[in-house]
Chains A and B, each alone.
Chain A
Amino acid sequence: MNNISERLKHDWFILANLVSKDFKLKYRRSILGVLWSVLNPFLMMVVLALVFSFIFRGDDASQPFPVYLILGTTLFNLMAVSTTAGANSIIEAAPLIKKIRINKLIFPLEKVLFELVNFALSLIAVAVVLIYFQVAPTLNLLFLPLLLLYVVIFSVGLSLLLSALAVFFRDIIYLWSVVITAWTYATPLFWPINALPEWLAAVMKFNPMYQFVTYFRSITMCGVPPKISDLLTATASGTPYVAIWQTPSLKANLICVGMALITLVVGFLVFKATQRRFILYV
């Protein structure tokens, strides 16, 4: 037992070292450095908000639109970037795997944790947008760590699966970038869910990213009135308005946990079953 905890402690130390290495390398020789982790999602949001404000007219559920947008894209980005990096992680670590005895789980895990750090920084941009649009924080924000846990588990699961498969078939890496693009448009990041016909909206429930993104919007925009006009009529008539974003229910949590865990288990099993042969193929 002692041995296992010792080994875990050591794996953690390696992880921390690799994450800090990636972080140092990412912004070396850039003037703004770490600030880019904040600026990037912010600028992306501005571009997208400009583009999509003209194409789609946001409706009740997606007001204020820039908030709706930045919440969706930053969270989706966490999954997209970490799984893309994760898919490459074992091939990239080939020199290490060939030379030293090391727990190979570390590499995909490291990529996801590194992106989690970047995500934490991009939350600053999210906060700025929230303040600008005067979306007041509520206690619901306390759900955020829970949500991040779900998304990290989900991304780790995918990364494990992809990195293991990519060792044997490099196609996976190219394929995955296409999947991510398709997934980006298939998830209501830029458009509201009620733009879909009913049957498609039902199918959408099986999209884990839809569940996570909705969760994120719920806890952040909870209690935001749908429309100023609705708010005015509501106060005038004395009846409370119906908020669209509500505290995530137990059911929503269970769905998120379930999707994350199933992905993790599948990824882990595939990784475990194949990791012995990595060294022969990388």
Chain B
Amino acid sequence: MSEGIEPQAAVVVEDVSMVFNIANEQLNSLKEYMLKLVKRELFFKEFCALKNISLQVEKGDVFGIVGVNGSGKSTLLKIVAGVLEPTRGSCTVRGTIAPLIELGAGFDLELTARENIFLNGSLLGYSRLYIKEHFDEIVEFADLWEFLELPMKNYSSGMIARIAFAIATVIVPDVLIVDETLAVGDMFFQEKCEARINTLIQEYGTTVLFVSHDINQVERICERAVWIEKGHQQMLGTVDEVCEAYRMREKGAL
């Protein structure tokens, strides 16, 4: 517990910057690298994906992140999820986190759904016991009882998404990260997903980080929001303020 952070903050992002080194050329071979090094032609272009982002998400908040494509939203999410380490600054998350950024990480399509549930579950941080206990629940939610022993390469992409979502949300996380990737599956399943997320928010007080460039969806679901523009934190505030400003800018740009 570091000082200066309010106890109820679930996610604290402090002055985070993310700099990528983009090599002028792709140098993946030792020979090229040595040649360039000797010739002193080894230049890197710095690309700043995020610049001095600071925000705090209170426990139980539903927090939106808006911005156009390539503005750094996904980079920020990856930092919060702990996949990327920021170049500068720090990011603290209280409690368990369920990143729905990339569903089905580590699925091996040669394996059956049953085997994949255990594999993916372990990668998401569940214990063997926990997966066993909630196995029926997962299959029930994905509605895939008949295909449980089938290799997943025979599944449709919708079916894969269903099982991935079911595994990822069977746990009640303290922080849930929802990316735009949820636009998979049929209408019926999408509703089921939204219902599940709503249950998590309302009944369990889960903190949600929600990313979308669909401004209306953000307005509908979130309470507070941040607007990121080319890696800069453009605006932070209530969802109405941010969305209004964002719309103004879009109009201005058009």
Contact = CB atoms under 8 A, between A and B. Distances in A.
B106 interface: yes
Contacts of A172: 30
Main secondary structure on chain B at its contact with chain A?
loop
A24 interface: yes
Contacts of A97: 83
Contacts of B29: 169-171
A10, A24, A96, A169: residue with the most chain B Cβ atoms closer than 10 Å: A169
Nearest to A13: B122
Contacts of B83: 97-101, 279
B99 A100 contact: yes
Interface residues of B, number: 29
A contact patch SS: helix
A138 interface: no
Interface string A8-21: 01100110011001
Interface string A88-124: 0000000111111110000000000000000000000
B123 A279 contact: no
Given A98-B83, A101-B83, A280-B21, A169 B105 contact: no
B118 A10 contact: no
A172 B127 CA distance: 36
A101 B28 contact: no
B30 A13 contact: no
Interface in B16-34: 20-21, 28-31, 33
Contacts of B115: 21, 24
B214 interface: no
B159 interface: no
Nearest to B83: A101
Given A17-B122, A100-B124, 5 more contacts: A18-B119, A21-B115, A24-B115, A98-B83, A170-B28
